Structure 1
Amino acid sequence: MTATENPPAQQTAQTYRPSTLQRFLPFIIAAVVPFILGSTTGDLSFWWKAVITVVVLVVVARLAWKWTPRGELTHREDMRLWRTPSDRSWAALTMFGLLVLPFILASDFTPPMGFPWATWFAVVNLVLIFAMGAAAFNLLVGYSGQISLAHVAFLALGSIVGGVVGVQWSGGNMWYALPAAALAGAVVGAISGLPALRLKHLYLLLATFGFHFVMMLVWREYLQEYFGFVGIRFKGENSPRIASWLHWLPGIDPDQNGEFVITGQFRWYWVLMPITVLSILFMVNVVRTREGRAFAAVRDRDVSASLLGINVARSKLFAFALSSAIVSMSGVLASFYIGSRGEDSFNVQTVLNYAIIIVVGGFSSIQGAIFGSAFFWFLPEWFKWAREELWFVRDIDFLSDYPSEIDLAIKGFLVVIILMFKPDGLAGMWRDFKNWLGRTLARSNP
């Protein structure tokens, strides 16, 4: 090549920008179709609904994959939550799955493992509640690096606020208790985070564990003063009402008194799912902001973070306040969903349960809280089915005599295995699977 010849132009990916309608159409389809299927309960059989569901899944994934910006991305496009075809496809599929799931669980065909659909519905609702609390816990421990055992203390704080605002003051209005719990959790969380300004690691863990016992004392005194040893009843006349903007959902009909009381697993799903999804999306976006990057910098090396101009004290207190606010909200939801809270509702075992969830799901991963919660609640149901149905398990006496101990031992064994061979947990396995699937689809669609 001579000096006068122009060098060959570099091969760059072709720039493609979909229209606004194209970007949102897969999500609109994913949102509308489940309600159409749910409103045609008597017109279509289950198998026809299953076929339509599979077709819609394929269409939604394909459109979300196709109509994604490609080529050189602007800074605004690069900072989007779902900026790649794979991200948009999985987001659209997840949205469709969450919307169609309650109609599947409300079907009349035989459920898996022989358990009634109410059992699976209850497990799904508990996964939603625990995923919200575990994600907030992981935000503090995994992203910010502030080791704390005061997580359950803020669940108790949420129950106290739910009892005061939702039961004593408003007679079952959970919608007032949620923002009140968030405010109380943020204030008390910032106070509980003051030791983090001078303590680290094991010393901070012990300090927050001491705060746990202080809050347990406050919880017991509150119960004895206002409710006695019976505990707080969040059901009956204290049952929360469905917000008016949810009355249009299929299957949401007024009861005999003409009221839209949140009773039954189906109604609770439509309350818990949007709150949990919005809370998790909020935390995911916080991690991507300047405050989230400050969390990571303080976690990795707080001295270096201070030299970079980060206010370390402010970052730590903000992490405690934000995590505690969301945990307190999950405490309100759990209290109204379960229906009662007593003196023994919060103990050290609950602390260990949340630790298992974030370890199995994956540290420093909001998504790991979802996988860890599903693991924690679905695994016991599988163990129960195995003890009753599998002959080589059913004939072992000690497995039937000590079911809870065996379940806990297996969870502990799996935690050790995951820490040894896959430290990033189930979320890491999911990322590996998505990357493999993305590479496979990219090779098949050059």
Structure 2
Amino acid sequence: MRVVTALVAIAALIALPFLASGATLDIANQILLATIGAIALMLLTGFAGQISLGHAGLLAAGAFTAGILAQEIAAPFWIGIPAAALTGALLGVIFGLPSLRLRGIYLAVSTLALHFLVVYVGGEYETRRGFSTGILIDPPVVFGFEFWDPVAWYPVLLVVAVLVWLLARNLLRSRTGRAWAAIHDTEPVAAALGINVARTKLWAFVISSAITAMAGALFAYYRGFVSIEAFSLFVTIQYVAMIIIGGMGSLLGAVLGAAFVTILPHAIEAASGVLPSSGGLAGSIFAMNYAAFGLIMIAFLVFEPGGLVGILRRIGGKRGTR
């Protein structure tokens, strides 16, 4: 069943550009971008057990790195994306250091400072350079082909998402992944087993931050502009919701959570459009999204801590017993 499901999913992903409209492909691209960021957060929180509330700040750091390089020195994307990943890795070192002494809510608050710092720096750059509506970025060009529409971007983002998933899967099977699992369970026991806890934690922050910043740079190139308003604290809440709803400690959970959280606002908007009082609900869609995220996260935490992956496993187990 797993092989059949995988083949069907691969066939659907390949056929999507030929069957879907531009709007549908745009949603698919948003899911792929969210998948990259969700996998990065899952590595840090779901597997290494390190809490972070600075995810939106890392996305903004990657996006602004690509935008500033494109604006100031006309750097192409093959320089902007690695530079964004390097920026993320550097921030991962800086803001991973508190994890060596802080845990729980104190670590979460320290990572939250990352968000406000990046937002402040990005806002100052926009103001001083006069980019009131954001930094414009020209579409990437490869061999004379310009990537500007969802159809052209879809295979690129799909390949990047698959590569990030494979990288994460191999990391989890390596000595680094086993060390993350050990410190996630019990740090004193991990240290007693000879694991360098400090180095392992820092590696988790560095790898996760680099992937997240790369996702932010891809988002900037895909949208064609960078604005600090796109990286509010609500974005961090969305990514936390992705790994909770999808299922903590599962790469498949990161993918399912990214798809669910990305599609949810569109589903709410579509549902409000068919209701009799849709005109009065038009201004409340954003508030409805907030309420929906809160209710769904509470429901999963209380009734299904395993997330969507837990539901799938239970369904598969029931089928296996028949």
Q: TM-score range by the shorter chain?
A: over 0.9
Task: State the partner residue of 1:335.
Answer: 220
| Aligned residues between the structures | 322
Task: State the partner residue of 2:207.
Answer: 322
* Counterpart amino acid of residue 100 in structure 1: A
Whole-Å separation in 2 of the counterparts to 1:231 and 1:396: 32
Structure 1 counterpart of 2:11, from 83, 92, 96: 96
Whole-Å separation in 2 of the counterparts to 1:292 and 1:199: 21
Identity %: 35
- Relative contact order, higher structure (CA 8 A, sep 6+): 2
Are 2:136 and 1:240 equivalent residues in the alignment?
no
Aligned partners of 1:151 and 1:351 also within 8 Å = yes
Q: Deviations over 1:274-332 (max 9, x none)?
A: 00111112112211211111101101111110000000001000000000000000000
Task: State the partner residue of 1:132.
Answer: 36
Whole-Å separation in 1 of the counterparts to 2:33 and 2:205: 20
Counterparts in 2 of 1:307 and 1:91: CA distance versus 1, 3 Å: same
| 1:93 shift after superposition | 2.7
3-state DSSP of counterpart to 2:50: coil
Task: State the partner residue of 1:35.
Answer: none
TM-score normalised by the chain length of structure 2: 0.93
Higher helix content, 1 or 2: 2
* Counterpart amino acid of residue 310 in structure 2: G
Structure 2 counterpart of 1:409, from 273, 286, 291: 291
Structure 1 counterpart of 2:257, from 361, 372, 377: 372
Whole-Å separation in 1 of the counterparts to 2:264 and 2:25: 15
Whole-Å separation in 2 of the counterparts to 1:428 and 1:229: 45
**Gap regions ≥5 residues in structure 2:** none
Counterparts in 2 of 1:343 and 1:179: CA distance versus 1, 3 Å: closer
Structure 2 counterpart of 1:118, from 22, 28, 43: 22
Counterparts in 2 of 1:194 and 1:241: CA distance versus 1, 3 Å: same
Aligned-residue Cα RMSD (Å) equals 2.0
Aligned partners of 1:399 and 1:406 also within 8 Å = no
List aligned pairs for 1:209-228, cutoff 5 A. 209-228=112-131
* Counterpart amino acid of residue 169 in structure 1: I
3-state DSSP of counterpart to 1:147: coil
| 1:133 shift after superposition | 0.4
Q: Deviations over 1:202-227 (max 9, x none)?
A: 11111111222122222222323445
List aligned pairs for 1:29-428, cutoff 5 A. 86-105=1-20, 117-171=21-75, 173-234=76-137, 238-242=138-142, 244=143, 259-389=144-274, 393-395=275-277, 399-428=281-310
Counterparts in 2 of 1:160 and 1:403: CA distance versus 1, 3 Å: closer
| 1:165 shift after superposition | 3.2
